[in-house]
Structure 1
Amino acid sequence: MTAPLTPPHQPRPNDPWQAPPSGSHAVPGEQPDAAERRAELRQGGVIAAVLTVAGVVLGLLWLWLAPRVPLVSDDTAVFLKNSEGEEAMGADGTFVLLALAFGLVSAAAVFLFRRRGGIPLVAGLALGGLLGSLLAWGVGSWFGPTSDVVAHAKEAGKGVTFDAPLELHAVGAAILAWPIAAMIVHLGLTALFGPRDPEPEWEVPYGAPRAGTAFGPATGTAHEPEAGGGRPAHGQGPARP
């Protein structure tokens, strides 16, 4: 009778669900040390600062491209010259479209700058987009037509058309357009083109049997199973046809 090569309690060598060898432990990938973490924090701060300054460019572009709302005065009140105009909505739409473009460009630039990403870089991207949008709103409102409509109407005179202040009506959506677009684009780029983490490797202590190693029936010594079939039991000749 031929002894089994692999006892019932031993897993198969090609079993993908087999348990790790006894006494082994997973070796994780290299963890960033304190110096690398500080470097990531500095890079995240630099990204936030650069995007905040870029908000000045966004504000100037908004001031240049946004449509103006024409007003007219009759010395008693100020009216919209075109009551059916959509210039006010156009100002919000222009800001949102510019903010989405800035979010796309900033996310791509941050990804190309550091493909591995990291929480500080993503936080700097979101914070910089938010602060840049707030700064752009302030720049456009400050350098645009004055917010003192009454004084502006008196200065322009009766029946003379003048521009209304440059304002945002949907403030929340306009301010969050840049950071949200940047986060979505950066997440997509990281998922598609970012580096993958290495698979954990099992480290087996010296002398421990490997998975799929069989034990002899009497001696208890480990030997590798033969690929060409079973070995005859002790005292028996080779099997005859």
Structure 2
Amino acid sequence: MTREVRAFAVTVLTLAALGAAAGLLWSGLSPRAPYAITDQGTVLADPTTQALIAADGWFAVITGGLGLLCGGVAWFAARRWMLPVLLGLCAGGVLASMLTLWTGSTFTLGAVTVSAAAAPGVKIVPGALKLTASGVLVSWPLLGVGLFGLLEGMHGYRESPLRHPYGEPSTPLDHRPL
């Protein structure tokens, strides 16, 4: 029981550390939307900006790619403790996505420049990095667990007696007698 708990904990903590690093990467790659400081507060300076959508896209690409990487590595590394690692991949993927969101929106990396047409006397500032499509938060755990399940299904089918229905021999086709 202790080894299963350890496998779960190591998986969750590894993904959490990757989530913090992914947040810094997301902060460095994603564009910021331009906001104008007015008497009414800060308002979006350019309503047609694609920066909000681009931030969601970068988040999905980074977390989805890391989810696929983690799912593949977890399947190859966890041959003895499949269930604890799979559960850790799911829980750690959720935690990693949340840490990616928090880290990326808290820390600003790289040169942040925005451009928008403004009225004279209105100051344009870069906005905070945030997600507008919260559905991309599930890309890390969904793709990680999905790839893990796909690999396990392919491996299980290869060793399954269902591959040889009706008592057919298990020899390859080129070695059967004519």
* 1:102 corresponds to 2:105: no
For the residues of structure 1 that align with 2:157 and 2:88, how far apart are their CA atoms?
A: 20
Q: 1:71 to 1:119 in 2, by over 3 A?
A: same
Q: Secondary structure at the match of 2:35?
A: strand
Q: Secondary structure at the match of 2:123?
A: coil
Which residue of the partner structure matches residue 154 of structure 1? none
Q: Is the 8 A contact 1:56 1:132 kept in 2?
A: yes
Aligned partner of 1:159 among 105, 122, 147: 122
The code of the aligned residue for 2:155 comes to F
Q: Secondary structure at the match of 1:96?
A: helix
Which residue of the partner structure matches residue 149 of structure 2? 187
Which residue of the partner structure matches residue 91 of structure 2? 127
TM-score when normalising by structure 1: 0.57
For the residues of structure 2 that align with 1:74 and 1:176, how far apart are their CA atoms?
A: 36
Q: Which runs of 5+ in 2 are unaligned?
A: 110-120, 162-178
Q: Secondary structure at the match of 1:71?
A: strand
Higher Cα Rg, which structure: 1
The code of the aligned residue for 1:101 comes to G
Q: 1:75 to 1:55 in 2, by over 3 A?
A: same
Q: 1:74 to 1:40 in 2, by over 3 A?
A: closer
Q: Which runs of 5+ in 1 are unaligned?
A: 1-36, 146-157, 200-241
Which residue of the partner structure matches residue 137 of structure 2? 175
For the residues of structure 2 that align with 1:74 and 1:107, how far apart are their CA atoms?
A: 47
Q: Is the 8 A contact 1:40 1:120 kept in 2?
A: yes
C-alpha deviation, 1:115, in angstroms = 3.1
Q: 1:45 to 1:197 in 2, by over 3 A?
A: farther
Instruction: Out of 123-132 and 64-73, give the one that drifted further.
Output: 64-73
TM-score when normalising by structure 2: 0.75
Q: Aligned-pair RMSD on alpha carbons?
A: 2.5
More helix by share: 2
